[in-house]
Structure 1
C-alpha cells in the first residue's frame, strides 16, 4: 500500500485491501519516527485510489505526522485546505477560516481546536443520544469544571481561586443568608450577585441593584425606602423604594461601605425586623427580600475609624465571598479574553483571533481594572484590528512588561532587567515560581529572559 496524498485527517492510498473492517489500522513509515499506527475508515473507492479518514491518535504520533506533512508542504499562493487565493500565512484563510501560520510551533494545537466541531460532526452519525450526553457531561464537569447549574455564563475560568468561588456560590445560593461580596472594582461583584439570585429559590422574583456611591446622600434614603406624596419638595406622588421593588426577590447593595451612617442604622433595623418605613410615612411595610451587599473598601478599617457600624457588618457578614483580582487568576486572563472576543465576534458577525504577542501581553498586563478593564481592552482591539488578527497595539497593551509590585518600577530599584534577575535569584531560577511572583505566565517570563539576554544556564 502506498500513500499518494496525506493530511492530518485523511489520505489517498493505492493498493488498499478490499477485505477491511469498518475500522482498520494502517502503519505508515514516518522519517525520523519509524512506523506509526493510525486508525482509519474507508470513505470511498475511486480509480485513482481509496480515500480514507484518519482518526486522532496520541499526541506524539500526531505531532510526528504533522512534522512530516509540514516538511513536504509546497509553497503556493493558495490555501492548501480550500484552494482559495491566500498568500498571507499569518492568520486564517478568508474562505474556510482555517489557521494557516504553519511556522507557528503551536500550529497543530490551533488546528485541532479550529476543526474540533467539524471532526465531532463527522462522528455524530455513529453516536446515539446516550453517547452525546456522556460527552457533554464529560466536557462540562471534568474539563471545564462546570456543574449542571453553573453560576453564570460570564463566569469563565478554571483557576483554583475561581473554582473555590463557584463552589461557595452554589452552596450559599439556595439559602436565605445575607451575603457580603468583597473584591476590587471590576472583579465581578454584580455578576456574582446575579448568580446568587439565579441559583436561589427567588429566581422568579425581581433582582434589583443599587449603587450606594452613585446616588447623592440626600436622595439615597428616598431611593432605597421610598416616599409618600408631599414628604419633601418635589414629591408629587408616592413612590416605591428599591426595597419594596425587590419584594420576593434579591436586593443588591453595591458599594455598601459608602452608605451614610443614618442609613446604616435604618438598614440594620430592616435586617432585624424586615420592615420598611417610607420617607414621610408613619407606617411600616413588611418586605420579603434577600440582601446581597458588596464593597471594594476595607470595612475592618472603616469600623476602626467609626465610619461603618460593627453591628451592621456582622449582620451582613453572614457569608462572605472574596472575589480575586484578575492578576491572581493565572491563565483565566487569556480564557476571559477569548470569551469576550467570541462574544463580540458573534455580535458583529466578524470573527477575529489574537496574535501570539497579544496573548502574551494579556498574560503580562497587571489589569488594575480587573475583568471590566479586560473586556474594554478586548472590545477596543476588536474595533481597531486592521485584519483578522488583534495585536497588542490594538488593545493599547505593552508587550513583555512584567507585572510587579508597585516599588518594582521605581528608579531606586534599578532597571527592569535588574529586577527580573533579582526575582529569578530569589526563586532559585525556578521559572514557575518567579512567574508567580511577577503575576505573569511562564511564556511571558521566558520572553523577558530572552529580551534582556539573561543567562539561562541556571533556569529550571
Structure 2
C-alpha cells in the first residue's frame, strides 16, 4: 500500500547533478508526484545516485528538492524526495491536495469508495485531506515507515543525534551539541557535555583546557548559548594574537587623549560584553601587568579605561582557555597564583582526538558528508585502507587537522573512494616535511628544556623552536613525552601500550 497520495502530472522541471567536476542540467517532465517520490521522464542515462530536482508547481511556485535514485527504465526514472525545509513540504502538499482525484476512488489504493465515508474501506486510509491538520496527522502516522526507508543511509552518530533531538524536544531541554568537535559519543566527550550543562547553569568563571584544535572556543560558545546570558553578546579575545602593548587598551578601552592617536573614547572588549560573556583564549599569554589588572576586575567587576580616572561597572562572565600548563607556569612564577585560582573555579578539560576512540571515524564520515555536499562530490566514502589509516594516525592537530585532511582528500581523490594517499596519511609521516626538521633534530632533553624554559607552555615552546603547535606535540610524543600529562611536572614517558 502507498503511504502517500500520488497524482499524475505533467509538470516541467530540471534535474541537476554532477558528472566528475562538471555540473550537468537536464530538462525533465514530472509524470507522477507524491510526498515521498517523483517519477520523471526525459532524463538520460543516470550514473549518479543523488541529484537535485527543480519542479515547477505553477508559474509562480517552484520547489528545489534533494532526490535519491530508486529505479530507472528506458522511459522513466523514479526518485525518492527529501525535504530539508518545511516550506518545500508545504508547497508540495498544497499542490497534491489540489490535484487529488475526485473520481470516487481512493487516492492511496485506487479502489472505489462508498459515498460519505471518512476512511477507505479497503486500505483504511483517512480521506479528509482537506482538513487543515491532515498533513500533521498523516506525517505522525507514517513517521516510522519514512524513517525506516532512510535508516540504510544513517550512521550511528546521526541516529544518536536524532534520538537526542527527539528526547530533548519532549523534555524541553536545550538543543544537543552537534557542532564539529562535539560529534561523537566517547566517554570523555560525554563528560565534557555533562560539565558544559553544569557550568552553563552558574555564573562562575570557567577555565577550558585542551590541546590546539580540540574545540575550546566551541566549548565556550556552547556554555554561553545554554546560560542565562544567551541573549547577550559573547566577545572573543585571542590574547596571543594581540601585541602586549595594545592588549590593555583592547580589553579595557581608553579615553580620548590617553595616548597618541586616541582621538576619541573607545570602549574595551569587557564593556562590549556587558551583560554577556567574554572568552579569553590563550590566557597563558597574558602579560604580568594585565594579569594583575584582570585579577582586580574579577574582584570588583570594574573596568578602568587607559587614561581614565573613574571605573565603569561591567556585568560579564569570564571563560578563559589555554593549551598551556598553567599550574606549572604558577610554579615557575610566570602566571599569578591568585589569578589562576580565580579563573579555575570550574575547569573543563577537552580530550584530544586520539583519545576519542571510534569518534575519529564518526567525525571523518561526518565531515566528508558535510563538505562533500558543499562541493557536490561524487565520492562514495572512505576505502577500508583509508579508514584503517585514519584510525591508526595520532592526529596531533586534533579535529582541526582532521577537517583539513578531509577537505584535501575531496580535491585529491580520483576514484570513487578516498584512499590513504588522498589524506596524506600513508606517504607523509608527521615529521617528513622540511619545515619540521628543527623539531626532528631536537633530542628529548632539548624538548624538555624548551618546555621548562617556557613555563611548560607548548605555544611558547613551539614558537621558540619555530614550528607549529601540532608539530611540537608530535615531537613530544616521538620522544616519549606524553602531552596528556601536561598538568603534572615533570613530563612522564608514554607507556609501552
Query: What band does the TM-score fall into relative to the shorter chain?
Result: 0.5 to 0.7
Cα distance in 1 for partners of 2:386, 2:204 equals 42
Cα distance in 2 for partners of 1:319, 1:130 equals 46
Cα distance in 2 for partners of 1:346, 1:120 equals 14
Residue in structure 2 matching 1:281, options 305, 308, 323: 308
Change (3 A) 1:289 1:126: closer
Partner residue of 1:263? 290
Residue in structure 2 matching 1:150, options 166, 176, 182: 176
Residue in structure 2 matching 1:169, options 177, 196, 200: 196
**In the alignment, is residue 324 of structure 1 matched against residue 324 of structure 2?**
no
Q: Post-superposition shift, 1:130?
A: 7.3
Cα distance in 2 for partners of 1:130, 1:212 equals 54
Q: Post-superposition shift, 1:131?
A: 7.5
Q: 1:119-130 counterparts in 2 under 5 A?
A: 128-129=139-140
Partner residue of 1:50? none
Note if contact 1:151-1:170 (Cα within 8 Å) is conserved in structure 2.
no
Cα distance in 2 for partners of 1:192, 1:325 equals 14
Cα distance in 1 for partners of 2:372, 2:167 equals 24
Unpaired runs of at least 5, structure 2: 4-42, 52-68, 71-78, 84-134, 149-157, 431-438, 444-493
Name the TM-score, length of structure 1 as normaliser.
0.59
Q: 1:31-46 counterparts in 2 under 5 A?
A: none
Residue in structure 1 matching 2:393, options 365, 370, 383: 365
Note if contact 1:252-1:291 (Cα within 8 Å) is conserved in structure 2.
yes
Cα distance in 2 for partners of 1:438, 1:130 equals 56
Change (3 A) 1:401 1:224: closer
Cα distance in 1 for partners of 2:292, 2:200 equals 26
Note if contact 2:165-2:176 (Cα within 8 Å) is conserved in structure 1.
no
Cα distance in 2 for partners of 1:375, 1:392 equals 15
Note if contact 1:243-1:251 (Cα within 8 Å) is conserved in structure 2.
yes
**In the alignment, is residue 395 of structure 1 matched against residue 348 of structure 2?**
no
Q: Post-superposition shift, 1:196?
A: 0.6
Change (3 A) 1:289 1:172: same
Cα distance in 2 for partners of 1:387, 1:139 equals 31
Q: Post-superposition shift, 1:200?
A: 1.0
Change (3 A) 1:266 1:152: farther
**In the alignment, is residue 225 of structure 1 matched against residue 262 of structure 2?**
no
Change (3 A) 1:251 1:143: closer
Residue in structure 1 matching 2:413, options 361, 385, 390: 385
Residue-by-residue CA offset, 1:55-114 (whole Å, 9 max, x unaligned): xxxxxxxxxxxxxxxxxxxxxxxxxxxx997xxxxxxx832259xxxxxxxxxxxxxxx9
Partner residue of 1:79? none
Name the TM-score, length of structure 2 as normaliser.
0.55
Q: 1:406-417 counterparts in 2 under 5 A?
A: none
SS of the equivalent of 2:48 reads coil
Q: Post-superposition shift, 1:355?
A: 1.6
Cα distance in 2 for partners of 1:199, 1:393 equals 41
Note if contact 1:187-1:323 (Cα within 8 Å) is conserved in structure 2.
yes
Partner residue of 1:12? none
SS of the equivalent of 1:361 reads helix
Note if contact 1:211-1:253 (Cα within 8 Å) is conserved in structure 2.
yes
Unpaired runs of at least 5, structure 1: 1-21, 23-40, 42-82, 86-92, 99-113, 411-435, 440-460
SS of the equivalent of 1:181 reads strand
Note if contact 1:361-1:401 (Cα within 8 Å) is conserved in structure 2.
no
Note if contact 1:151-1:199 (Cα within 8 Å) is conserved in structure 2.
no
Cα distance in 2 for partners of 1:187, 1:384 equals 26
Residue in structure 2 matching 1:237, options 264, 267, 270: 264
Q: 1:280-319 counterparts in 2 under 5 A?
A: 280-319=307-346
Q: Post-superposition shift, 1:140?
A: 3.8
Note if contact 2:212-2:323 (Cα within 8 Å) is conserved in structure 1.
yes
Partner residue of 1:51? none
Cα distance in 1 for partners of 2:428, 2:404 equals 20
Q: 1:103-122 counterparts in 2 under 5 A?
A: none
Residue-by-residue CA offset, 1:113-164 (whole Å, 9 max, x unaligned): x99x96999xx99975277499899854768998552134321011110011
Residue-by-residue CA offset, 1:392-413 (whole Å, 9 max, x unaligned): 11121128989xxx99xx9xxx
SS of the equivalent of 2:369 reads helix
SS of the equivalent of 2:385 reads helix
Aligned length: 307
Q: Let me know the Cα RMSD of the aligned residues.
A: 4.0
